[in-house]
Chain A
Amino acid sequence: MSDENNKPGTTDLGKRERAGRERGAGDPGGAMAAAVSGTLTGGEHRGGSAGPDLPNHTGTGQGTAGDRVGARVQSGLKRRYAAERRFRMYGLFAIAATLSFLALLLISIVSKGLPAFSQTYMQLDVMLDADTLGVDASDSAGQLRGGNYGGVTKAAMRERFPEAESRSDKKALYGLLSTGAEYELARRVIADPELIGQRLQLWVPADDELGALIKSGANLADPDGIVTRMSDRQIGWAADMQATGELDVRFNRTFFINGDSREPELAGIRAALIGSGYTLLITFLLSFPIAVSAAIYLEEFAPQNKWTDLVEVNINNLAAVPSIVFGLLGLAVFINFFHLPRSAPLVGGIVLSLMTLPTIIISSRVALKSVPPSIREAARGLGASDLQVVFHHVLPLAMPGILTGTIIGLAQALGETAPLLMIGMVAFIVDIPQSITDASTVLPVQVYLWADSPERAFMEKTSAAIMVLLAFLICMNALAVMLRKRFERRW
């Protein structure tokens, strides 16, 4: 009606215009329209400037009413603003509380975990004596591997500290040395057998107790007040080596190269990291296509009936099932029935996919639902088939939301421990897994295993593993944000 009044007719249709005039003059509707527009302007005034000029705009007889409304609004305003201020305060408090807890967590983890990224090495002067080693330069790699490298390193220690003569003293002396020294030596010799018979100077990892002592920066010359399991004798030797520069703290490459070990100074995160990578890869490859297809079908194609309702309810319920149940299912079905290898990322990935599926399906459905129907209509109106509508228009627009859900699901899977314990991924894995069927473990299980170990040095390893886990998560989230930005640009 007002539309008509606003646009004076540009046509020659006299009758309608005449009718309009008639209505304007005679029909009460015209007067009402005027009254309506009056109140409308009034509304604008109130919105624009609160208060003082309120009575001015109104017509006769309405001034007092306007005043009363103004006063009432005025009295309520104060309360409304106070409520808003209060709410902001609550919000700020909540944010501050969250941030402080987060800071507490991070500070505690980082302060405990940082020492694990450095390692104490000691310099060893080794005589690679063929007799002691029991192998020759002409031997095969297999035979070389069986050489008595421990004997050589022990001899080197005896040579360095000839004063240790008694059996117990010698044992204490050897205790300064990590078994990693033998492995390092063996690796060198196998790489270059010509070294046999020569004298070699090399840096080898120190024992974890000694390493912790050096890293703590304690004054070894004054053994009193040092809390350690090492004897005074051992501390004395260590002080001697430190004074001559034979002890050094360096970046701990071992931590990123090795798998798990009984010796803290040799234990590394690599096996768990790669295990986690494989497991997540399987999880992603399985859950993403299945979940997105399911979401597309349910959202775009499925008829609305009892069956789809049932499916929907079950998917939602699945999201709430405790994860250990999925682990038991994996054990019963994939390992005992299908005879898939135990402790393998393959099974871990399948089990975690089951767990992640509902999360991705639900978030994908929400993302698909939020794509405006006008886009679907536009495409369909041009003659796109249902599939083309979905894949050309709806899916690209829903992609950021789907990716967010996927990353949330995968992050959940990355941090999951319980179901993996059930399928044997809690095993002590030294070797780096080479494929998805090799026995392996994952980061959170590694954290659990190390947290359970008695050696003090494993404490810092635990925190360091958590740091690696967090870094992994941050990388994943960064990737998600990047992908999202990329898809969003198509808007």
Chain B
Amino acid sequence: MSAAVMNDILTPVKRASARMETRNVFEEITGTVGDVTVENAKMRTRGVDVFYGDKQAIHDVSLDIGNNEVVAMIGPSGCGKSTFLRCLNRMNDTIPSCRVTGSMSLDGEDLYGEDLDPVLLRARVGMVFQKPNPFAKSIYDNVAYGPRIHGLASNRAELDDIVHESLKRAGLYDEVKDRLESPGTGLSGGQQQRLCIARTIAVNPEVILMDEPCSALDPIATARIEELIDELRQNYAIAIVTHSMQQAARVSQRTAYFHLGKLVEVGDTNTVFTNPSHELTENYITGRFG
């Protein structure tokens, strides 16, 4: 029997035992390792629990997102990082069985309070999705849609300015300036995602949430988006969910590691990746599971 076959047989056994180990460790999680707070927090969350029906998807998560920083949320699939991200602009409202408890605030205003309308909240906290999802409209209309519904431009010239400026900041302007009237769905995947980012920043939000923005893109397009994220950091607070640890390492200043609905560890990206405090974090970033 060759070595490869031997490995085939042995690997699942080893993996199973590794999993049991991590489960034991997980049960011991009592709180988050590291400092969840930042000085100039844009968004603050404290003790957030999220339920889908009876099932609890997020357990007691507290995390700050600071101005001018990129917070990366990493963790194995199903660990709740996307759920948590979507709670930050109440995108989960459309799921009837979803229930959120705990406190979440934007500049001190309660996200789920009476005063803050979800529509207004989503204008202030923009979102970029995993799959590029441009509207079935022209490139121009895609970017102009947000400003139009919010009445951000009083005339055509102002709207033109917003659109051009947003496309420039998303690094797409030079590629599409001659065909702003052609459909946004006709662009390549990477261009579409940058169009979606341009569309998001056209509303001039305060926070941008990105849910695995590069998972459907090739490395070149990914690199462009990452550059863009780094530039956008100058003006926005950004939270990004990613499966690629390199990406988290490249673009973020702070990293939060989620595991089975709990926030295990938060810290400076460099520290988390080079010297993780929690065993689960170390297991994950060294590729032992996930």
* Known pairs A16-B286, A23-B287, A32-B7; A384 contacts B133 (CB<8 A): no
Distance in angstroms between the alpha carbons of A381 and B118 in the assembled complex: 10
User: Pick the contact of A383 from B10, B120, B243 — CB < 8 Å?
Assistant: B120
Contact present for A31 and B149 (CB under 8 Å): no
User: Closest residue to A60 on the B side, CB-wise?
Assistant: B2
Cβ-closest chain B residue relative to A383? B123
- Considering only residues 360-412 of chain A, those with a C-beta below 8 Å from chain B are 372, 374-385, 388, 392-393, 396-397
The answer to whether B146 and A383 have CB atoms under 8 Å apart is: yes
Q: How far is the CB of B24 from chain A (nearest CB, A)?
A: 21
Total residues of chain A contacting the partner, CB 8 A? 45
Binds A, one of B63-71, B155-163, B245-253: B245-253
| Interface presence of A91 (CB below 8 A) | no
Q: Does A49 make an interface contact (CB < 8 A)?
A: no
The answer to whether B287 and A378 touch across the interface, beta carbons within 8 angstroms, is: no
**Which residues of A are found within 8 Å of B245, using beta-carbon distances?**
4, 16
| A11 at the B interface (CB under 8 A) | yes
If over half of B's interface residues share one DSSP class (helix, strand or loop), that class is named, otherwise mixed; here it is helix
> Assuming A4-B287, A397-B136, is B122 touching A380 (CB within 8 A)?
yes
- Report the nearest B residue to A38, measured CB to CB: B4
A13-B273, A378-B129 given as contacts; is B183 within 8 A of A384 (CB)?
no
B126–A3 touching, CB < 8 Å: no
The bracket for how many chain B residues form the interface is: 35 or more
Q: Are A11 and B246 in contact (CB under 8 A)?
A: yes
* In the complex, B8 has a CB within 8 A of chain A: yes
Report the stretch among B26-34, B88-96, B166-174, B258-266 that lies at the interface: B88-96
Q: Does A35 lie at the interface of the complex (its beta carbon under 8 Å from any beta carbon of B)?
A: yes
Within the assembled complex, what's the spacing in Å between the Cα atoms of A377 and B129?
8
- B122 near A28: Cβ-Cβ < 8 Å: no
The interface residues of chain A lying within 8 Å CB-to-CB of B185 are: 491
A14 to B4 CA separation, bound complex (whole angstroms)? 29
The yes or no answer to B79 lying at the interface (CB within 8 A) is no
A20 on the interface (CB 8 Å rule)? yes
Given A380-B91, A381-B89, A490-B136: A28 touches B10 (CB 8 Å cut-off): yes
Contact residues of B between 114 and 136, Cβ < 8 Å to A: 119-123, 126-127, 129, 131, 133-136
Instruction: Closest B residue to A371 by CB, please name it.
Output: B136
Cβ contact within 8 Å between A304 and B146: no
- Residue among A1, A31, A383, A396 making CB contact with B7, cutoff 8 Å: A31
A9 and B246 contacting across the interface, CB-CB below 8 Å: yes
Question: Across the interface, do B126 and A382 meet the contact criterion of CB distance under 8 Å?
Answer: yes
State the CA gap A59–B2 with chains docked (Å): 11
Tell me the minimal C-beta distance from B227 to chain A in angstroms.
12
Chain B residues with CB under 8 A of A28: 7, 10-11, 14
User: Which residue of A303, A377, A382, A490 is within 8 Å of B203 (Cβ)?
Assistant: A382
A15 in contact (CB, < 8 A): yes
- B154, CB-defined interface residue at 8 Å: no
Interface residue B137 (Cβ < 8 Å from any Cβ of A): yes
Bound complex: CA of A303 vs CA of B96, how far in Å? 8
- List the A side residues contacting B199 at CB < 8 Å: 378, 382
Chain B, residue nearest A384 (CB): B149
Q: Of the candidates A15, A374, A385, A491, which one forms a contact with B129 in the assembled complex, judged by CB atoms under 8 Å apart? A: A374
The answer to the question of B45 belonging to the interface, with a C-beta cut-off of 8 Å to chain A, is no
Q: Is A29 an interface residue (CB 8 A)?
A: yes
Given contacts A20-B287, A374-B131, A377-B91, contact A392 B273 (CB under 8 A): no
The residue in chain B whose Cβ has the minimal distance to the Cβ of A34 is B4
Q: Can you list 8 contacts pairing A with B, beta carbon distance less than 8 Å? A: A10-B246, A16-B273, A19-B285, A32-B4, A376-B94, A382-B145, A490-B183, A491-B136
- Known pairs A31-B3, A383-B121; list 20 more (Cβ under 8 Å): A13-B249, A13-B270, A16-B245, A20-B287, A23-B287, A32-B11, A34-B4, A35-B4, A59-B4, A377-B127, A378-B133, A382-B122, A382-B123, A382-B149, A382-B200, A383-B120, A383-B123, A383-B203, A490-B137, A490-B183
